[in-house]
Amino acid sequence: MGAIAAIAGREFREGIRNRWVLGATLILTVLSVTLAFLGSTPAGTVRASPLAVTVVSLSSLSIFLVPLIALFLSFDGITGESERGTLLLLLSYPISRRTIVIGKFIGYAAIIGFSVIIGYGSAGAAVLAFQGGDGVFGYLGLIGSTVLLGMVFASLGLLVSAIFKERATAAGMSVAVWLLFALLFDMALMAALAADDNQRIGPSLVPWLLMLNPTDVYRFFNLTLLDDVRTFAGMASLGRAAMPDAGLLIAAMLLWVIIPLAAASLVFRRSDVR
Amino acid sequence: MIEVQSLTKEFGSIRAVNGISFSVAKGEVLGFLGPNGAGKSTTMKMITGFLTPTSGSAIICGHDIQKEPIAAKQRIGYLPEGAPLYPDMTARGFLNFVGASRGLDGADRVKAIDRVVEMAQLDQVLNQPIETLSKGFTRRVGLAQALLHDPDVLILDEPTDGLDPNQKHQVRQVINDMATVKSIVISTHILEEVHAVCSRAMIIARGQLLADGTPTELESQSRYHNTVTIRTLSMPPVPERTGLGQLDGVSEVEEGGAPSAPEFRVRPQDGAVILPAISAYVTENRWEVDEVRLEKGQLDDVFRQLTTSDSPAATVVEEAA
């Protein structure tokens, strides 16, 4: 545990030093506060809770922004150390490669967690303070699931970093991963659904297909968890029976964290360090 | 403490290291010499467990680095080439990080840091970020991290490369101070390093071990081993100069120097001892001798002999590969 904590602590301090923590926190705070106030303005008319409106706005923002931040944080976790030569140093210590991967992941998760909790937390606190209303539970779900979403992409970033030996290639592949999950997957799925015309892909299968994309799992979780949010997000028409429950969605996101992390550890363990 | 058996590494069709075997005992400082691309770093990386050998093994204090990497690494201190460290950290912060990574906690870590700080004389820069340190101090921080857990085996990859003479002296002093109680392997292409710190040297080229012995033994393989150089105050007559080349055991006489201070470099056959015969000859012929020097041989000459592509040893390597 000492080695994991040391590596995680180093990553977090490095994040503070190179202003990743500050930058990510500032971006999330400014955007979330802005969206919270601009987005919740019409809440009175539709009688939705301001926090519920904020959840809808912020979850759409998170799907694009948080994966990008997490991937930028983690894509050179292994490749960068290798290029700077410090990986040799780390590997000379009596710690396993899995320990290095886990330590780095925890460091990135801490940076993401800190930024999201401060950023989204301050927006939620401001909405509650100035506009009141309920929906705190849903908002806490948003914060927790956003941290989880960041962890998923930190895990994917580490996998990219373990696979590709050059930093530039790893950076390019990270952008590809972001494009795939933030944009292309849903477009491809919609195209497939349109082409299929309810022949083979029935409505009951769609939620499960969405599980193949962690950003969809995140969106599903936040837009369907609370009645208030569901109504405002236009998801009320989806019958509860067709939707996986919150526990399953969280389990799916956890799997999206664990599987790439385990794969990163495996790839790293099998690779030679030159 | 280090047992290397038939270590081989292939990268595709290229054999970077070809069946190298050697051992290093406690108290030995082994200089691992070779030109760039000889396979030194690849061998070091296999010994330290970063690269998986294609075949062969490296045993560190009884632990196979491939089968028991954690146990083996607990006994190794390693300084990678160029001493890559975390530049943003202070020397103290970095040593704390290394201590934590090596499982040293609380008072043990503080004690270990105090010990290496004293050994590497880092007190004055302990709270400075590493990126602000001179190369010499950076290298000493690198040495300190390698020594933090008081390892039995120390592996140093080009420890003085790029340092100025004063900085080299400082780093070598640290190595010499612990030479008797550890097994140390130093990879280098700086031949003066061998004289400065090594009790034994190995020369490798094209992935193969070409020579192994004490520095004196290696120098004796030089074609200049036991060569006698005589400087005289005047030019001796031609017949006497010719006679010098005809003495028993003499292979060749090279004439040089200025006309007012001619020099005769007399090379022996197969390293034979020719000094007494030459001494008797110049005394007998009443040469006005200004200086007589006996050469032990030059390591760089042996290095060139063994590692240049047209050398017989290099040819053997090429054929074997």
pLDDT in tens, B132-161: 998 889 989 999 999 999 999 999 988 888
Task: Take residue A224 and report the two structure tokens written for it.
Answer: 């369907």
B23-40 burial, b for 16+ CB within 10 Å, e for fewer? ebeeebbbbbbbbeebbb
d(CA B260, CA B231): 10
The predicted pLDDT at position A229 comes to 59
d(CA B191, CA A132): 77
Output B222 or A154, whichever has higher pLDDT. A154
Please answer yes or no on whether B105 and A2 come within 8 Å at the CB atom.
yes
Using a CB-CB distance cutoff of 8 angstroms, which residues of chain A are in contact with residue B81? 85
Of A88, A93, A273, the CB nearest to B101: A93
Cβ atoms of B184 and B154 within 8 Å: the answer is yes
Task: Take residue B71 and report the two structure tokens written for it.
Answer: 């146990």
* DSSP H helices in A18-135: 20-39, 43-46, 50-74, 79-84, 86-91, 97-131
Over residues A107-129, the mean pLDDT reads: 90
Please answer yes or no on whether A91 and B50 come within 8 Å at the CB atom.
yes
The predicted pLDDT at position B31 comes to 93
Under 8 Å CB-to-CB from A247, ≥6 apart: which residues? none
The predicted pLDDT at position B320 comes to 39
- What's this model's pTM, rounded to 2 decimal places? 0.82
* A163 — pLDDT class (breaks 50, 70, 90): very high
- B154-209 pLDDT tens trace: 999 888 887 888 888 888 888 898 889 999 999 888 888 888 899 999 999 889 99
- Domain segments of chain A as ranges: 2-270
- B234-271 pLDDT tens trace: 898 889 888 988 898 998 899 988 888 899 999 998 88
The predicted pLDDT at position B102 comes to 92
User: For residue B228, what are the β-bridge partners?
Assistant: B266, B294
* A242 — pLDDT class (breaks 50, 70, 90): low
d(CA B314, CA B312): 5
pLDDT at B218 over 90: no
pLDDT at B314 over 50: no
Task: Take residue B266 and report the two structure tokens written for it.
Answer: 């007399």
- H/E stretch holding A206 reads helix A206-210
- B267-313 pLDDT tens trace: 998 888 999 999 999 999 989 899 999 988 888 888 888 888 555 44
Measured between CA atoms, the residue of chain A closest to residue B68 is A94
The predicted pLDDT at position A40 comes to 60
Distance from CA of A217 to the nearest CA of B (A): 36
Residue B146's SS3 state is helix
% residues pLDDT > 90 (chain A): 46
d(CA B62, CA B50): 18
Task: Take residue A101 and report the two structure tokens written for it.
Answer: 């991967």
Please answer yes or no on whether A6 and B97 come within 8 Å at the CB atom.
yes
The predicted pLDDT at position A47 comes to 57
Measured between CA atoms, the residue of chain B closest to residue A103 is B101
